[in-house]
Amino acid sequence: MQELVQLAEGCGYLPGGVNAGVVWAPDGRAVAVDTGGDREAGRNLLRAVQARGLRLVAVVNTHSHADHYGGNDYLLRQVPHLEVWAPVFEEAVLRNPYLEPFYLYGARPPEALQNKWLMAKPSAVHHVYPTGDGELQVAGLMLRVHRADGHATRQAAVGFGPVCYAADSFFGPEVLEKYEVPFTHDVAGQLDTLERLRGWPYEWFVPGHGAPVGRPDLARVLDANVRAVRQATERVRRAVGSGATADEVVHRVAEQLRLPPTNPSTYFLLRATVMAHLTYLLEAGQLSWVLDRGALRWLPAAD
Ligand SMILES: [Zn+2]
């Protein structure tokens, strides 16, 4: 059984493909920060919490990607009176998981896209919280919330004691190395979050994916993330070349990846990220777009 790793008094996490945070009070009341992608992740989390003699009373989800709230359904069934907290806007997806494949695809998605990677089981949401920086009292524990949008529309990072559960506001270097183009909804927001993160007052930063980063290593890891985002923008700008449709741009970017998409789900995740970079370049005045006999073509901006 995977055990909770303690980082500080009352602060730990369960390592996994998606890290789940756990914070607790001296009387044993525990709050999870995200729950992993599925029933098994939920079960592992509950077992690890109980093995430490803690009592799970609430879940705070950081954002609505299926791999971060997919354990909620199991936990809600197993733990009476469990309370789920979700950020404003993101909460709609927890209640209606169909929204994720729907927004990635743009219409009713084919059944093949309505899978567990893009769509977790729905979760009740008992409390919707704002994602501006501030305090959040959850089951008697005083958490801090930090706006961490960019990767997702209204993602939050959650702090307790000296530990920041940063969700997908940054990725571990090993994860960046593997996937190269980090998923994003809003590039400017993502870069802004990466800058603001440097000033958050914690000793430990636990990303959703990757090992916890201590304060002395934080700048190096954030620099690597900024580099990856900027390289992704540059890949997209180069893929536009002298002009291309969005699908041509996606194809050209994919061709250069060590791990190009191998199924429709990963294709649409990459496509959404490419679209975010196209928006960013358009709004920075580096690209324009034009309708050319029914084709929407992206073009380098005229000087
Ligand atoms: Zn995510």
Question: DSSP labels for the chain?
Answer: ---PEEEETTEEEE-SSS-EEEEE-TTSEEEEE---SSHHHHHHHHHHHHHTT-EEEEEE-----HHHHTTHHHHHHHSTT-EEEEETTHHHHHH-TTHHHHHHHSSSPPGGGSSTTT-------SEEE--SSEEEEETTEEEEEEE--SSSTT-EEEEETTEEEEETTS--HHHHHHHSS---S-HHHHHHHHHHHTTS--SEEEESSS--EEHHHHHHHHHHHHHHHHHHHHHHHHHHTT-EEHHHHHHHHHHT-SS---SHHHHHHHHHHHHHHHHHHHHTTSEEEEEETTEEEEEEPP-
Report how far ligand 1's centroid is from the alpha carbon of 118 (Å).
11
Note whether 206 and 265 are same-domain residues.
Answer: no
Note whether 278 and 219 are same-domain residues.
Answer: no
Share of the chain above pLDDT 70, in %: 100
Q: Would residue 50 count as lying in a domain? A: yes
Write the CATH number for 33.
3.60.15.10
Note whether 73 and 178 are same-domain residues.
Answer: yes
The answer to whether the CB of 270 falls within 8 A of the CB of 235 is no
Of the residues 206, 230, 254, which one is the last residue of a structural domain? 230
Of the residues 184, 207, 230, which one is the last residue of a structural domain? 230
Report how far ligand 1's centroid is from the alpha carbon of 167 (Å).
7
Using only C-alpha atoms, what is the Rg of the chain? 20
Report how far ligand 1's centroid is from the alpha carbon of 31 (Å).
20
Q: What pLDDT is stored for residue 159 in this prediction?
A: 98
Note whether 140 and 15 are same-domain residues.
Answer: yes
| pLDDT over threshold 90, residue 65 | yes
Q: What pLDDT is stored for residue 302 in this prediction?
A: 80
Phi, psi of 182 (to 5 degrees): -65, 140
| pLDDT over threshold 90, residue 112 | yes
Q: Would residue 274 count as lying in a domain? A: yes
pLDDT digits (tens, 9 = 90+) for 230-263: 999 999 999 999 999 999 999 999 999 999 999 9
Report how far ligand 1's centroid is from the alpha carbon of 199 (Å).
22
Report how far ligand 1's centroid is from the alpha carbon of 169 (Å).
8
What's the CA angle centered on 257, arms 254 and 261, to 5 degrees? 55
Q: Which amino acid is at 233?
A: T
Closest CA to 117 of 267, 257, 245: 267
| pLDDT over threshold 70, residue 36 | yes
The per-residue pLDDT of the chain, averaged, comes to: 97
Q: Would residue 201 count as lying in a domain? A: yes
The answer to whether the CB of 20 falls within 8 A of the CB of 41 is yes
Task: Name the pTM for this structure.
Answer: 0.96
Note whether 113 and 207 are same-domain residues.
Answer: yes
Report how far ligand 1's centroid is from the alpha carbon of 260 (Å).
19
Q: Would residue 257 count as lying in a domain? A: yes
Note whether 221 and 269 are same-domain residues.
Answer: no
Note whether 97 and 226 are same-domain residues.
Answer: yes
Write the CATH number for 271.
1.10.10.10
| pLDDT over threshold 90, residue 1 | no
Q: Would residue 236 count as lying in a domain? A: no
Q: Would residue 235 count as lying in a domain? A: no
Two tokens, residue 261:
């998409």
Report how far ligand 1's centroid is from the alpha carbon of 68 (Å).
7
Q: Would residue 276 count as lying in a domain? A: yes
CA distances (Å), origin 89, targets 55, 193, 272 = 29, 18, 18
Q: Report the alpha-carbon distance of residue 31 to residue 25 in Å, rounded.
A: 9
Q: Report the alpha-carbon distance of residue 47 to residue 44 in Å, rounded.
A: 5
Q: Which residues surround ligand 1, an ion (CB under 5 A)?
A: 65, 168
pLDDT digits (tens, 9 = 90+) for 8-28: 999 999 999 999 999 999 999
Of the residues 177, 195, 230, which one is the last residue of a structural domain? 230
Report how far ligand 1's centroid is from the alpha carbon of 45 (Å).
18
Q: What pLDDT is stored for residue 303 in this prediction?
A: 66
Note whether 135 and 264 are same-domain residues.
Answer: no
Share of the chain above pLDDT 90, in %: 98
Q: Report the alpha-carbon distance of residue 14 to residue 49 in Å, rounded.
A: 9
Note whether 215 and 255 are same-domain residues.
Answer: no
Two tokens, residue 146:
């930090």
Report how far ligand 1's centroid is from the alpha carbon of 96 (Å).
16
Report how far ligand 1's centroid is from the alpha carbon of 66 (Å).
8
Q: What pLDDT is stored for residue 145 in this prediction?
A: 98
Report how far ligand 1's centroid is from the alpha carbon of 56 (Å).
23
Report how far ligand 1's centroid is from the alpha carbon of 26 (Å).
31
Between 56 and 302, the more confident residue is 56
Report how far ligand 1's centroid is from the alpha carbon of 104 (Å).
13
- By residue range, what is the domain housing residue 222? 5-230
Report how many domains make up the chain.
2
Query: What b/e readout covers 209-234, taking b as 16+ CB neighbours within 10 angstroms?
Result: bbbbbeeeebeebbebbeebbeebbe
Note whether 197 and 282 are same-domain residues.
Answer: no
Note whether 222 and 275 are same-domain residues.
Answer: no
Across 143-170, average pLDDT: 98
Report how far ligand 1's centroid is from the alpha carbon of 276 (Å).
15
Count CB neighbours of 200 within 10 A. Answer: 18
Note whether 86 and 27 are same-domain residues.
Answer: yes
Q: Would residue 28 count as lying in a domain? A: yes
